[in-house]
Amino acid sequence: MRRRLVLLLSASLLVAAPVAYASAGQERSTLRDVEGLQVTMADEGAHLTWTATDADARLEVLRDGTLLSELAGTTISYDDGTVKPATTYEYRVVQVSHGKGRKLPSPTSIALTTPGYQVGASTRDISPTGFVNLGGFGLGNGTVIPDAIVGRGGYDRQKSETIRARATVIDDGKTAIAIANIETQGFFAAYQNGPWGLQDMAAQVAKDIPGLPAGNILIASDHTHSGPDTIGVWGGVAEEYFAFIKAQTVAAIEEAYASRGFANVVAGESDASDLVYNQSCTEALNQSKQPDYPGPEVCATPGKDGLFRVLRATAPSGRVLLTFAAYAAHATAGGGDGVHGDWPQFLSDAMTADFGGTGIAMVGALGGTQPCRTACAFTKPSNPGYNIAERKAAYLANYGAHVKAALATATPVTGPVGAKQQFIREAITGPAVTALFAAGHYFGTGILRSHEAPWATGPTIRTVASAIRIGDVAIIGTPGEGFPRIGQDVRDGLQGEKMVIQLGLANDQVGYLIAPTAYVPVIAAEVGVNDNIIFNVSPTIGDHVACTDLALALQLGFKGSAPAQCAALTATDGLDPVVSSVPVGGAYVPGSPAGASAGKR
């Protein structure tokens, strides 16, 4: 018993004190922990510091028991830039005296858990030089249909504003996704006059950065009605300008990827329903502070998405890397000077100035709604911009207040990053869209979207549905001006998610995505005051996008289920949509054998 007690005491001394060891014929070697070891998270990685030094010793930095580096004995810090997000590491720093004795294990370690994500963001100027056709109001470039009859988007030049391509990349150490916004009228997946489309941009990034596949990249436009007409319906822009926008957008995404730094992400929302109106409701008759319509509230197609949804990425030092906001207000608020990106541009610039880092504001569910300019009869007088006369200043005050309110109640975002995209196909049944595709160029209203397979095959059109996961936040892409029911259907189908952000004009712009299908006759009856039915490809396209977005979100690991009516819309998934006989609702996954053949230009 006595001998066993001596052995136990010897073992305890091995842990608690410096240890000397030497075998026969070897010089004595001593190993001990450095004093005052601290491990903290810096913006670029783990930062280790300690106080005690010994010029005659050497230091060994170990992570999870593996040697990272040997340092001179006088060193008092070390940076480990090889750590991954959302990972716990054990660090030890051992001081070893000179000699040939056997090294002993260090008895102490300090654990560090890294932030959940790496986030980067960047912007690039895409302002045109000289005058440019503007898109969004009226129809045509004025050469055939007189401006006096339908009006036109306009013709202007850059003055006091700067439009940009803005991008962010979010990475969990295994998967990276990119979200980008282009401040123009709209952008197509593919163009008939050159490789300028959003799919071409994503393919270029994927070629340059293998860690960022094309299917993980969502690029949208902000639909500004005071920006360059990259649709073509109001005269279009020069091919050189298309090439410039593509190059700048690709550069913004790639710079965002290169600038990634560790970050904690939070998400919050604020109710701004009093700043937008449903075009099918009687509230649309009260677009001024004083009620113009005193009658009962009536709404033929209920529902609007009035929430400001905000993500914030903050570095370990507290430095803001990104403030991202999405709101369902058409970019028709106005207030800028010359060519501009409307409220998304102005709010992006304001968030950048107010918070630091990069601000990115994007449009959400645009279908069937418009913004109060700047106050409707139902707008709350408590809004800070309520009594501001100048339009831009007024809605920036209102929108900025909702961004801050959303951040004030924001909670941490946790979990993996992922992305899914899927091509879907719909029959072109809308007569106006059919006419614009077939003969629009004869009337100065030519759509520049690709007319060739796979993007247009027979009487069908192909577009892109998408979903992104950032922890417990789902971001769904609607390839046009989606109705709020699309986002609501996804929210209804998911369980346990923190937030669902619906982004408009994502990866394509195929007009209004009316949902549910039952609303189509009502919207058609409003054609005299509401153009949603004019720019509608198909009665079922909105529901088809909703079902596909929900299915993609479920594939990304969110819990939930799809409603029974989705089965009919997705029954032909996997078929090659280049075949002209593909029925409405045909879809396939990019990268599948069918997708490989259909994806050729």
Q: What is the pLDDT of residues 363-404, one digit of tens each?
A: 999 999 999 999 999 999 999 999 999 999 999 999 999 999
Amino acid at residue number 559: K
Contact in structure between 512 and 225 (CB atoms under 8 Å) = no
> What percent of the chain is modeled with pLDDT above 70?
84
Find the mean pLDDT for residues 558-563.
94
Concatenated DSSP letters of 387-416:
T--SHHHHHHHHHHHHHHHHHHT-EE--S-
Would you place residue 443 in the very low, low, confident or very high pLDDT band (cuts 50, 70, 90)? low
4 vs 87, residue with greater confidence: 87
Beta strand 587-588 with 417-427: parallel, antiparallel or unpaired?
Answer: antiparallel
pLDDT in tens, 184-198: 999 999 999 999 999
Between CA 225 and CA 241 the distance in angstroms is 18
Would you place residue 97 in the very low, low, confident or very high pLDDT band (cuts 50, 70, 90)? confident
Find the mean pLDDT for residues 138-163.
77
pLDDT in tens, 55-79: 888 999 999 999 999 999 999 999 9
Q: Residue 125: what pLDDT?
A: 98
Find the mean pLDDT for residues 295-309.
94
Find the mean pLDDT for residues 502-510.
97
Residue 334 has pLDDT above 70, yes or no: yes
How much helix, strand and coil, in percent to the nearest 5, is found in the chain? 25, 30, 45
Find the mean pLDDT for residues 235-255.
97
Which residues have a Cβ under 8 Å from the Cβ of 380 and sit 6 or more positions away? 274, 386
* Residue 481, helix vs strand vs coil: strand
Find the mean pLDDT for residues 578-596.
39
Between CA 585 and CA 570 the distance in angstroms is 6
Between CA 284 and CA 330 the distance in angstroms is 14
The C-alpha angle 16, 20, 21, rounded to 5 degrees, equals 125
139 vs 32, residue with greater confidence: 32
> What percent of the chain is modeled with pLDDT above 90?
72
The C-alpha angle 286, 332, 304, rounded to 5 degrees, equals 55
Beta strand 45-49 with 559-560: parallel, antiparallel or unpaired?
Answer: unpaired
Helices (H) and strands (E) in the chain, counts: 12, 32
Residue 13 has pLDDT above 70, yes or no: no
Which residues have a Cβ under 8 Å from the Cβ of 252 and sit 6 or more positions away? 122, 123, 124, 164, 165, 166, 167, 180
Across the chain, mean pLDDT equals 87
Beta strand 164-171 with 117-125: parallel, antiparallel or unpaired?
Answer: antiparallel
The C-alpha angle 477, 478, 481, rounded to 5 degrees, equals 140
Between CA 509 and CA 261 the distance in angstroms is 32
Lowest mean pLDDT among 243-247, 279-283, 431-435: 431-435
Find the mean pLDDT for residues 274-283.
96
Task: Check the CA dihedral 312-407-504-362 and report its sign.
Answer: negative
Residue 217 has pLDDT above 60, yes or no: yes
Residue 549 has pLDDT above 50, yes or no: yes
Residue 439 has pLDDT above 80, yes or no: no
- State the residue for tokens 């249909």: 145
Q: Can you read off the two tokens belonging to residue 302?
A: 């209920």
- Superfamily of domain 18-113 in CATH is Immunoglobulins (2.60.40.10)
Find the mean pLDDT for residues 256-271.
98
Residue 568 has pLDDT above 90, yes or no: no
Find the mean pLDDT for residues 489-493.
97
Which residues have a Cβ under 8 Å from the Cβ of 247 and sit 6 or more positions away? none
Would you place residue 148 in the very low, low, confident or very high pLDDT band (cuts 50, 70, 90)? low
Residue 339 has pLDDT above 60, yes or no: yes
Between CA 179 and CA 121 the distance in angstroms is 10
Burial per residue of 535-546, b for 16 or more beta-carbon CB atoms within 10 angstroms, e otherwise: bbbbbbbbbbbb
Contact in structure between 344 and 183 (CB atoms under 8 Å) = yes
Find the mean pLDDT for residues 413-428.
94
Contact in structure between 539 and 585 (CB atoms under 8 Å) = no
Identify the helix (H) or strand (E) that includes residue 569. helix 566-569
Find the mean pLDDT for residues 236-262.
97
Determine whether 264 is exposed, middle or buried from the number of CB atoms within 10 Å of its CB (0-12, 13-18, 19+): buried
Q: Where are the domains of the chain?
A: 18-113, 117-598
572 vs 592, residue with greater confidence: 572
Between CA 461 and CA 454 the distance in angstroms is 8
Q: Between the CA of residue 316 and those of 85, 313, 355, what are the distances in Å? A: 12, 10, 15
Q: Residue 577: what pLDDT?
A: 45
Residue 106 has pLDDT above 70, yes or no: no
Contact in structure between 328 and 293 (CB atoms under 8 Å) = no
